[in-house]
Structure 1
Amino acid sequence: MCEEVQEPSRQVPKAIIGTVIFNTIAGLVFLIPIVFVLHDTEALASLASGQPVPAIIRSAIGNEVGTFLLLLNLAVLALLCGIGCTTAVSRAIWAFARDGGIPYSTQWRKVNKALDVPLNAMMLGMVVEILLGLIYFGSSTAFNAFSGVGVITLTVSYACPIAVSVIGRRQQVENGDFNLGKLGVFCNIVALVPLFCMPSAVPATAETVNYAPVVFVAFIMIATAWYFIWGREKYIGPPTADVVGIEPHD
């Protein structure tokens, strides 16, 4: 999505840092009151819904209307988050299709002229999201593994360019439009600290063990195999000049 931003080399880093700062403050403002009104943790852990926040707010407020109004904000945030994720997925699919990285790329790289968005790519992403959501009805453990692997893949996707930058002694960053100096070096090192995938409960059982690393390794194996089967010959990589032949379609 950086391609849709003016001056991305300067504005995107500002947006990332601003988001981290804002979310840290907003998270503390939300969590600190929750901690103060938290009481029976064992009862919350045994809730059938697995969602303790509504019960905590209901206990603190004391009435249904107040609880609903406070939870409404969370519902709106979840909706906005879903829209953001769908938008990001559609742009990722479009970018891979533009570069020939997925089958039937000519269909997925089309841009709807009326809406000015990659509608086909968005629909493909939504279908995959819905199919993954259906896993929950079969096995919540499997669903948690697929949802949890998203965090791992995002972290790895962030760590890869950071590692390349650190190995190259941050030469490209130092000559770029945005540089945090020594603070940037510290942030890079912290970002590369290994993250451990822990189970949701100890001792771990077949239902509570964290299967996200297993799914992650499976995805890596599939992606590697797909590269040798398809990508090595079809995938041309991001364009270094103006893209030719990709015009808006109805």
Structure 2
Amino acid sequence: MLAPESYRKLAAWICGWLYVVGNITITLSVNFATALFLVGCINVFETPEGQPVLEGSAYQVFLIFLGITLLCNLVCSLCNKWLPILDTFAIFWTFAGVVAILIAVLVIAKNGRHSGSYVFTHFEVNSGWTPGWSFFVGLLHAAYATSSTGMIISMCEEVRAPATQVPKAMVLTIFFNLAAGLITLIPLVFVLPDIQELILLAQPVPAIIKSAVGHEGGSFALLVPILVLGIICGIGCTTATSRCIYGFSRDGAIPGSKWWKVVHPKLDVPFNGMMLSMVIQILLGLIYFGSSAAFNAFSGVGVIALTAAYSAPIFVSMWEGRKTMATAPFCLGKFGWFCNIVSVSWTLLVIPLFSMPTTVPVVDAGLVNYAPVVFVGFTLISLGWYIAWGRKNYVGPPT
């Protein structure tokens, strides 16, 4: 809709594939992170010898990830009409969990509290990168926390007045994430234990809360709200991804589209597309057997693909002088140019940045960043399908 006819088809194809890849891999990374987090929650309990209760080996993490993925798909497919209620519940659940953690860790603080100077000015490099570049590489987790905001777009056809309500939801979500994130993270930094111990953990939050509370059962109770929220987040991402695959399949842009664009007559969801996404996620999850850093690969490629997809229409709009923005419900005028330039600049930084290993030097396969491999793999599939089918048949979304 933003691009002229001369390159409209190719632009839509590239943007669509980036969006599909981003949706699938970010959903995978959310479920994988929840699996790792669950292992960390279980291990706040220790054996009499002081060892973790759960070893957290590759097959154990994968099986937990498999269970969470199946649970999310089960809820999304069988409980579609209850999802809005679940979303509302998530809002109140988040606030309750944040308040509980905030009060408990600051009041108890068994091992003491750091100074405000430590919390807001201390900078420590443990990745092997130079200090400045280490900061930028560390932006992956911040970008990951907000990268799925645009997945709200997938739900446009199920929202009233999407032209105004979807942008409002996207913007408000950013502010909500910012507030909840800071209120959660700042107290945790005040009670942060030795960083050298934390960097060895896949999920450090359980260890931080246990260090502050000093009680296994109490620590686990405080972790439950985050754990439940992780599962709810996985359900939300699974829902959005199924709609994304359905929409792009309706355009014929995914191999086997005739199966993936079907809406189940009884469940009223694109069940086939949901199952396609689930199978791809499970297959990609096998990477964890080869690399314990797989989560960074999944989150990295998800952030790269989604950020690039979000920027594609922005770039096209700028290239065409933002002509189509004049009639938009929310037209920012000259300030819109500033926002667009920042967005595109961020994208150009993100793509090479999140393709790099998180630590250097890379001495074994477990430290390799597999994000570029996954990204290039999906790109080759997209290119091959465009040459074989899209070049002659793809016309873009139906209007």
- Relative to the length of structure 2, the TM-score reads 0.56
Partner of residue 12 from structure 1, selected from 146, 153, 166: 166
* Alignment of 1:62 onto 2:221: no
Structure 1 counterpart of 2:322? 170
Give the alignment of 1:211-250 within 5 angstroms: 211-240=370-399
2:233 is the counterpart of 1:74: no
Q: Are the counterparts in 2 of residues 37 and 60 from structure 1 also a CA contact under 8 Å?
A: yes
Residue in 2 that maps onto 1:245: none
Do the aligned partners of 2:291 and 2:368 also contact (CA within 8 Å) in 1? no
Which range is displaced more, 111-120 or 96-105?
96-105
**Could you tell me the percent identity over the aligned residues?**
58
Question: Which residue identity lines up with residue 7 of structure 1 in the other structure?
Answer: A
The letter for the 2-side match of 1:202 is V
2:196 to 29, 38, 42: 42
Gaps of 5+ in 1: 241-250
- 2:193 match: secondary structure: coil
Deviation (angstroms), 1:236: 3.3
Distance 1:170 1:131, change over 3 A: same
Write the distance in 1 (CA, Å) between the matches of 2:390 and 2:218.
54
**What is aligned with 2:360?**
202
Deviation at 1:142, TM superposition (A): 4.9
Aligned-residue CA RMSD in angstroms?
1.9
Distance of aligned partners of 1:35 and 1:157 in 2 relative to their CA distance in 1, 3 Å threshold: same
CA distance in 1 between partners of 2:368 and 2:257 (Å): 38
**What is the match of residue 106 of structure 1?**
258
Q: Tell me how many residue pairs correspond in the alignment.
A: 238
- Counterpart-to-counterpart distance in 1, 2:207 and 2:256: 47
Which stretch shows the higher mean deviation, 134-143 or 121-130?
134-143
Q: In the alignment, which of 322, 340, 349 is matched to residue 188 of structure 1?
A: 340
Output the amino acid matched with 1:77.
L
- Deviations along 1:64-119, whole A, 9 cap, x unmatched? 22211221111111111111111121112111221112233222211122221111
Tell me which amino acid in the other structure corresponds to 1:200: T
Confirm or deny that 1:31 pairs with 2:189.
no
Spell out, residue by residue over 1:9-41, the C-alpha distance to the aligned partner (whole angstroms, 9 max, x if none).
Answer: 211111110011110111100110011011300
The structure whose residues are more often helix, as a share, is: 2
Structure 2, gaps ≥5 residues long? 1-154
CA distance in 1, matches of 2:256, 2:381: 19
1:204 maps to a residue whose letter is V
SS at match of 2:367: coil
State the 1:143 CA deviation. Answer: 5.5
1:125 and 2:277 are equivalent in the alignment: yes
- List structure 1 segments (4+ residues) > 4 angstroms apart after TM superposition: none
